[in-house]
Structure formats: C-alpha cells, structure tokens
Amino acid sequence: GERGGGGGGAGKTGDLDLLRDGWFSEVNDEMWPGQAMSVRVTRTLSEVRSKYQDVRVYETQAMGNMLVLDGVIQCTERDEFAYHEMMVHVPMLAHARPERVLVVGGGDGGSLREVARHECVREIVLCELDEAVIEASKAHLPQLAAGFADERVTVVVEDAAEYVKRKRSHFDVVVVDASDPIGPANVLFERPFYTALHDALRPGGLMSAQGECMWLHAELIADIAASCRALGFRHVHYAWFSIPTYPSGTIGMLVCQKRHGDAGVDVDADRHAPTTPLRDAPATWPLQYYTRAIHAAAFVLPAFLERRLAAGATDA
C-alpha cells in the first residue's frame, strides 16, 4: 500500500533527521499543513536513498514495522490490512469474474497479497517504479511481501504512466496503489494517466485509485472524480475507510467502472453499480476489515463531501 512519497521533496529527507527523541513525526506542509501524525520508533531497520526517493523502514512501539517514503508513512504492519483489503476487494468483488489484474505502485506487496486470494485470477501484474520499495518490503515487511510469492505475479519495474499506454482493453481490474500527487507519483494523478487506464481496462472493467483524505483533499477528490466522469467511466464513486496511520485517520479511493457496451450505450450489466458486491468473499479468507456490509457502507459519505462531489470540478 502506498500513499505519500515526495513528502520531503527530492533530496531533502536525506539531510533531515526524521526522528526526534525517539518519535517519527509526519510533517508535510504541502499535503496536510498544520497537523502531523507521530509514531514512537524503537529502531531504524533500513535507510536507502533510491534513484527516486528516500526509503526507510522503522520498527515502532505500537504499529509494528513501518515503511516511510520521503518522510511520509506508506504502511504499518498494524493497520495495513484496512487499506489493502478495501482497495482490492471492493473492485474485485464488484466484478463478476476478474481474470487479469494490474496493481500500479504497491511495491510493498500488500495489494498483491489480497489480489492473489481470488482463485479466478490468472494474471497479476505489479508495475512499480522503484525497486528499492520492493526490496525494503521483502527484507522487513514479510506479511506484505508474501504477495510476491504467488506464481501468477509478474513484476514490471517501470513508470506505470508509460506501461499502461501499451495495454489496450487488457485488464479486468486495476488497483492504483499510488502515493500522493507530489514527488515521483505526481503523474499518476493526472488526466492522461486516467485516460490510459480507461483504455487499458476491458469492457466492464473496474479501477480503484488511492483517493486521499476527505478532511484534507475534498477539492482534489472532486477534481479527479469529475475527470473520470469526463473520460467516460460509467460509474464513478468515492469510498472511504478508517486507518490510524494515514492523515486524519481516514483514506479514500475512487472506484470507477468502464461500460460493458459501446460508449454511451448501456447494457443490462451497466446498471449494477460497484457500490454493492456481485460476489462474496469466502468465509475461509482471513480478512480483518472487509465485509459485504462494509463494502456498501464505505460509499456512504458525510454531507460536506457529498455536496462537494455534487458540485463537480473546481474549475467547472
């Protein structure tokens, strides 16, 4: 699971001591000015300056091991299941039979682990820009990196914005497990990328995209939702869920579905919105957050966000 990245700005975090008196504080004046999440660190497990960003793994007192990119928390062992289960199982279980799945970003392997639970899937591609993230996870986040062990997984180390341009009508589900729209992931929040994603999906295909925090980024959420509607996605919905180590304790995702039929023409299957699942998660899956009820509940939005989304894009 990835969000954040670019937090310190390129090069800056390498010069900063991110720890003060044993506490890591996620200070970021661009993405969440005036507030910060703090976690007590018991030791530093790894620090790497990759080609793209500062990659660190800390052992923490309360949250297990924690991955930090450019000073921004990506995931912790304690709460990562909430993000990965929702990002993956909402679009996957709203699809009748997903066979080909793409995970964009997600170099920690958490999204892969959840996709691999689905037996109907035949091909799983992970497109991650930074190999250092994959290596850090394999070394220090085994419960997430377990996702790489599945034989259906192919890892592509490349800029996803370039990779998806080569795929036309190929994937049933795309999970955009991306970091925030600053730093190396910025391109993943821009319209050409969403256009390429729409084209890379098969008819009826679904996309979930990391959608930031409604308490902080309602304007950005409204803009991306408006862009996805303009691109011709049949369904565009926002869902949110609780996760303690993300800013304000919540994160959201945009869930978009491509038409089954030709552009502008509905077929029966298009009437089903991804806000309710078509399939159930088997009781044997050891899930800790996702349920059929929470799938639907996640799309119920507070009044302020509902109003903001109804108003459309900022510049509309």
Q: Phi and psi for 36 in degrees, rounded to 5? A: -155, 145
Euclidean distance between the first and the last CA atom of the chain, given in angstroms as a whole number:
32
Cβ–Cβ < 8 Å for 233, 255: no
Q: At 255, which helix (H) or strand (E)?
A: strand 250-257
Tokens of 190: 């821009």
Q: Which are the contacts of 315, defined by CB distance < 8 A and separation ≥ 6? A: none
Residues 6+ positions from 95 with CB-CB distance below 8 Å: 172, 173, 204, 205, 206, 278, 279
Please list the residues that pair with 154 across neighbouring strands. 125
Q: Cβ distance 127 to 162 under 8 Å?
A: no
Annotated catalytic residue, options 54, 70, 177, 223: 177
Considering only CA atoms, which of 311, 314, 315, 316 is closest in space to residue 219?
314
Distance CA(282)–CA(243), nearest Å, equals 23
Would you say 225 and 254 are in contact if contact means Cβ atoms under 8 Å apart? Answer: yes
Task: Judge whether 177 counts as a catalytic residue.
Answer: yes
- Output phi, psi for 54, to 5 deg: -90, 120
Catalytic machinery residues: 177
